[in-house]
C-alpha cells in the first residue's frame, strides 16, 4: 500500500543474470557472487560539452574527472577498469584529449591565455 497514490513503484527483472541500477550494472558471476561495472543506456548518445565552449574550465575538468571516477567506483574487475575505451574515445573526440593526456595541456594553455588577457587589461 502506498501513502501517496501518485508515486508508482516499479520492479525490474534480471535479464541474462544482469540488472541495471542507476549507472551500475550488477552481474551474477559464476561463483555465485556479484560483479559491478558502469552501465550506459542504449539510448546514450555519448555527446558531451565541447572543450572550446564558453563554459567555465572547472566544469570541463569535473566532467572528465567524473567519467573516469565512475569507472574506478563501479568496476570491480581490473579488466573492466582497463576497458574505459568508450570514455577515452568521447574525451578524445570532443578535443579534451590529444591521446597523451592533452586535455591537461589545453587547460594550462587556456589558463595562460586568461592570465595574458588580464595583464593586457591592466
Q: Give me 21's grid cell.
A: 541500477
Whether 45 and 93 have beta carbons less than 8 Å apart is answered as no
Q: Which residue is listed with cell 575538468?
A: 61
Q: Dihedral sign, CA of 70, 76, 82, 86?
A: negative
Condensed to tens digits (0 to 9), the pLDDT of residues 64-119 reads 788 778 888 888 777 776 766 556 666 665 566 555 555 544 544 555 566 666 66
Domain edges within the chain? 44-121
Within the chain, strands assigned E span 18-21, 24-28, 34-38
Tell me if the pTM is above 0.75.
Answer: no
> What mean pLDDT value characterizes the chain?
75
Whether 36 and 76 have beta carbons less than 8 Å apart is answered as yes
Between 86 and 51, the higher pLDDT residue: 51
| Spatial distance between the Cα atoms of 35 and 17, rounded to a whole number of angstroms | 11
Amino acid at each position: 500500500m502506498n501513502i501517496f497514490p501518485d508515486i508508482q513503484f516499479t520492479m525490474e527483472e534480471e535479464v541474462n543474470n544482469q540488472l541495471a541500477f542507476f549507472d551500475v550494472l550488477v552481474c551474477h558471476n559464476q561463483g555465485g557472487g556479484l560483479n559491478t561495472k558502469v552501465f550506459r543506456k542504449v539510448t546514450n548518445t555519448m555527446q558531451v560539452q565541447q572543450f572550446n565552449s564558453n563554459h567555465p574550465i572547472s566544469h570541463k575538468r569535473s566532467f572528465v574527472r567524473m567519467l573516469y571516477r565512475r569507472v574506478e567506483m563501479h568496476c570491480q574487475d581490473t579488466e573492466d577498469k582497463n576497458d574505459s575505451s568508450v570514455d577515452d574515445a568521447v574525451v578524445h573526440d570532443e578535443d579534451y584529449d590529444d591521446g597523451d593526456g592533452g586535455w591537461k595541456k589545453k587547460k594550462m594553455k587556456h589558463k595562460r591565455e586568461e592570465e595574458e588577457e588580464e595583464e593586457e587589461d591592466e
